[in-house]
Structure 1
Amino acid sequence: MTKETTLLIGGVVVDNTPIDGQKVTISAKSLNRHGLISGATGTGKTKSLQVLIEELSGIGVPSLVMDIKGDISGLGAEGSTNQIIEKRAHHIQMDWIGKRFPIEFMSISDEPGVSLKSTISEFGPVILSKILSLNDTQTSLLSILFLFCDDKKLPLLDLDDLKTVLRYAAGEGKTEIQKMYGLVPINSAHAIMRRLTQLEQQGGNRIFGEPSFDVDDLCRTDENGLGMINIIRLTDVQSKPALFSAFMMALLAEVFEVFPEKGDVDKPELMIFIDEAHLLFKNASRELLDQLDTIIKLIRSKGIGLVFITQTPDDIPENILSQLGFKIQHALRAFTARDRKAIKLLSQNFPESDAYDVESLITELGIGEALISSLDRKGKYTTGSFTNATSLLPYGCFKSF
């Protein structure tokens, strides 16, 4: 029987006292069921993210990280110890050694790094229509234009190419296209042009073009067998949610299309971490959310895991939250009636227990502490790597540090 591969996430705290030798682990086999790291500002989300990425790299699993705040690049430098690290390592009985991890910087903006681009043709009319929030008539016209370009062997590389075809369809080429493919609604052509201009104003021209990025390059390990940590620097796109959504939609669609079916794997082929995940869903159309929902449901079978990082779980649509296999929940603050209502609903998502009142505990967690709920390799809520967890903490739910 193959030994299960697990990731060490932290130690166990009971009644504010660390339990020596007790460790919280997550099964690597369950990570392609996707996950969530959430909590208020300053509660330790970034550290949890860094620990998870390091553990994955250590078992040879590469990661793709959306680094919006610039916090992840430090993984490329060798760490140094201090009293806090030594104390924590003592409690979970591990030999902590500072080391560097292999990283690759990437960018979709003016940040330094490998430029990530895709051609308009690779996006395709369906994905592009959802990104642009086009109606049925506009989507049909876009599909006609893609078909026209395919038949004429005309490359669609960037936004300028697509805008040129739109102008041709609405002008001198209207008769030709209508004769071959059907009616060309001029108002729809103008509407698509306006949507393309809006995307271009947010920097959309930077993610379209050549050379097109090969997603297979994300799945690399270094000479020591450590998984490559691919960091996309996004510190300058926080005010451009349309650009971020377009890029993520294209990336997920490309990964889903290119990666072969894997079924259940002992460890993921690739983990994708989406920091500040609310930017992905902010102002997203119903069509775009439906497309994301479909991809997230099916991408698991490709051996791909997604982890969303955000301040509150309600930043993520419920239909996506319901598919997540593990949660690392840091403290939330109950300053308003809305906050208290949200915490009450969130606490109902954790396994029930007489040992702890989850609703109260979420507001009492300290910096670096979290409630963790995960699945084991058989898809059941795990009680961790120790036997008496059910008498200490809610089933499948650990107060970790």
Structure 2
Amino acid sequence: MNLPFAPHPGSTHVAGYLLQRGQVGEFVIIEGEEHAVLGRLIETRLPERDRLTVEPTHESEDRPNPLGVVQLLTAVDLESGMPLRGVPVSPRIGQHVFSAHPLVVKQVVEAGTTPEAKRINLATFPHARDTMVSLTPGQLLGRHCAVLGATGGGKSWTLALLVEEISRLGGKAILFDATGEFQTQIGPGITHVHLGGRKENANDPRRFLSFPYWELTESDLFVLLRPSPGVQAPKLKEALRSLKIAQLVPGLAVNGLIRKAGNARQHFEAACVHHALALRRPGTFFDVEQLSNQIWEECVWPSGFNAAQAGNWGGANANEQSACATLMSRVESELASPNLECLFAPAGLDPLPDVVEAFLADPTQRVLRISLELLSFEHNAREVVANAVGRYLLGLAREGRFLAMPVVTLLDEAHQFLDKSVGDEFSKTDLDAFGLIAKEGRKYSLTCVLATQRPRDIPEDVLSQMGMFIVHRLINERDRNVVEKACGDLDASAASFLPTLGQGEAMVVGVSSPMPLPIAINRPMRPPSSRSADYENLWG
């Protein structure tokens, strides 16, 4: 396109709105007969012959003839005013190009019948800060959302704003706060709980919860306890099964233990068959305090070997007992670890599943913030627990608990919890709970918002499920490439703006967005606490 007004110095205003007259990033409207095409100016240049005409000392009367390159974004039906997906008819040579009024761009983005009061007040336009951009909850959250950006780009503000807007609109959200920076989100209907840590004193107002160990899967426990292959892993597996049978069939237990050396196997094996479903699923209670003792009881010879009768277990196997000594010591150490109290010492702490149930049942509750700040990284405890909570929520979703009241889970620092797996080569568990929520949670009205500064660490199959992306400044080329691949609407020309976005500015791209849209995120009423060190005043 020709830019005849671009050589004029400065910009101007029309009816209070800024008229940029050919500035990179400006939205333009290209006239048509049935459709108007909305585009964005992505490049301006001067032909070589006109280069000197913009020099202040040049005395020629010739005016420069700048050229602009426009990225075609979408089309608008001139009869209905509704936006169309794509551009059905390309512009012709000779058609006029106009600077797009901010309200025209707003109309294209917000097309629909949802009233303003039921929309999420997300942002303003960077070039028109008095024009609000609002999206419906279905557009922004209905197909999952990813908030991406380098440190300091503003993604925490975006997450805080989404929490406030969900609360204002009467929705329900569960926020996983990895760093504790969202403690500023206070108000009616917002509940704060902590996983990990204990009260410092009787006046500590914080509410600490447990996630009971019996809600973990066998794979989770293997990651935490790290049995070696060969003898320890099968003995730990057998010990867990025996302790569950000791609770399900108390008549088979002696002081809470299943005594095996030289005893009959028949009744125990019959109980295992009868309670097979309870033994396989999380949630079946067992006494973890007896775990090391039960491992010792499992160290017996096979049936018929050194046994009084053929149907009995054999006698104690000293070799296996010696091999399991380090595992038993490790179990005792983990049970006594203060970092894992929320798992293995739940007495005196409210269980998180009960708190979630109460949150869902109370119509006045809007946001449940689960702080993981004090939950240790030791032995992958933080990743295992967060994954277990996500798996628990997905189980509720599969039961249809969220169909009448959709729930949004917001996961900050998502790259910590969405790695392929944790544990060593002999005891691995996949961190797949939030990935499964992204893949199948939508049909159960459970959606997720993933916020991360490292998109390259998010599995590709999870990012591909995101229906909406809010992308803040991304400097790393690998991160930009990952986002570009995951989101088909973000092409190279739009991605080229990502490294230059200012703090709080972002690009909204997604299935429900008619085009890549640059925005300036609104300031949340209660910004998160970044708690960055004040070096200038603390040093010296």
Work out whether the TM-score is over 0.5: yes
Q: 1:10 aligns with which of 120, 123, 136?
A: 123
CA distance in 2: counterparts of 1:149 and 1:241, whole angstroms: 23
Amino acid at match of 1:38: L
Matches within 5 A, 1:170-189: 170=299, 189=324
Distance 1:110 1:301, change over 3 A: same
**Where does residue 251 of structure 1 map in the other structure?**
389
Long gaps (5+) in structure 2: 1-112, 200-205, 248-255, 257-283, 522-540
Alignment partner of 1:369 is 2:505 = yes
**Where does residue 122 of structure 1 map in the other structure?**
215
RMSD, aligned α-carbons: 4.1
Q: 1:350 aligns with which of 473, 477, 487?
A: 487
**Where does residue 512 of structure 2 map in the other structure?**
382
Alignment partner of 1:40 is 2:156 = no
Asked whether the equivalents of residues 193 and 369 of structure 2 are also in contact (C-alpha less than 8 Å), the reply is yes
Q: Secondary structure at the match of 2:429?
A: helix
CA distance in 1: counterparts of 2:438 and 2:334, whole angstroms: 24
CA distance in 2: counterparts of 1:151 and 1:34, whole angstroms: 41
Aligned residues: 347
CA distance in 2: counterparts of 1:55 and 1:258, whole angstroms: 24
Long gaps (5+) in structure 1: 77-99, 334-338, 375-380, 384-389
Distance 1:297 1:52, change over 3 A: same
CA distance in 2: counterparts of 1:263 and 1:221, whole angstroms: 13
CA distance in 2: counterparts of 1:366 and 1:106, whole angstroms: 34
Q: 2:357 aligns with which of 216, 219, 226?
A: 216
State which drifts further: 58-67 or 361-370: 58-67
CA deviation string 1:234-293 (max 9, x = no partner): 33347547121121122122222344544995862x222222223224672563235654
C-alpha deviation, 1:343, in angstroms: 2.1
Q: Secondary structure at the match of 1:9?
A: strand
CA distance in 1: counterparts of 2:208 and 2:466, whole angstroms: 30
CA distance in 2: counterparts of 1:173 and 1:61, whole angstroms: 58
Distance 1:240 1:360, change over 3 A: farther
Asked whether the equivalents of residues 144 and 466 of structure 2 are also in contact (C-alpha less than 8 Å), the reply is yes
Amino acid at match of 2:473: A
C-alpha deviation, 1:330, in angstroms: 0.8
C-alpha deviation, 1:71, in angstroms: 2.4
Amino acid at match of 1:212: P
C-alpha deviation, 1:353, in angstroms: 6.7
Asked whether the equivalents of residues 197 and 341 of structure 2 are also in contact (C-alpha less than 8 Å), the reply is no
**Where does residue 95 of structure 1 map in the other structure?**
none
CA distance in 1: counterparts of 2:114 and 2:404, whole angstroms: 10
Q: Secondary structure at the match of 1:366?
A: coil
Amino acid at match of 1:233: S
**Where does residue 55 of structure 1 map in the other structure?**
165
Report which of the two structures shows the higher radius of gyration computed on alpha carbons.
2
State which drifts further: 184-193 or 66-75: 184-193
CA distance in 1: counterparts of 2:381 and 2:413, whole angstroms: 14
C-alpha deviation, 1:168, in angstroms: 3.4
Alignment partner of 1:166 is 2:295 = yes
CA distance in 2: counterparts of 1:199 and 1:212, whole angstroms: 20
Distance 1:297 1:32, change over 3 A: same
C-alpha deviation, 1:48, in angstroms: 0.4
Amino acid at match of 2:519: K
CA distance in 2: counterparts of 1:187 and 1:34, whole angstroms: 51
Q: Secondary structure at the match of 1:205?
A: helix
Distance 1:23 1:252, change over 3 A: same
Q: 2:415 aligns with which of 267, 270, 278?
A: 278
Asked whether the equivalents of residues 272 and 306 of structure 1 are also in contact (C-alpha less than 8 Å), the reply is yes
CA distance in 2: counterparts of 1:302 and 1:192, whole angstroms: 41
Compute the TM-score of the two structures, normalised by the length of structure 1: 0.70
Select the structure that is richer in strand. 2
Asked whether the equivalents of residues 277 and 310 of structure 1 are also in contact (C-alpha less than 8 Å), the reply is yes
Amino acid at match of 2:207: V
C-alpha deviation, 1:134, in angstroms: 6.5
Q: Which has the higher contact order (CA 8 A, sep 6+)?
A: 1
**Where does residue 242 of structure 2 map in the other structure?**
148
CA distance in 2: counterparts of 1:284 and 1:232, whole angstroms: 22
Alignment partner of 1:340 is 2:481 = no
CA distance in 1: counterparts of 2:124 and 2:342, whole angstroms: 43
CA distance in 2: counterparts of 1:173 and 1:156, whole angstroms: 27
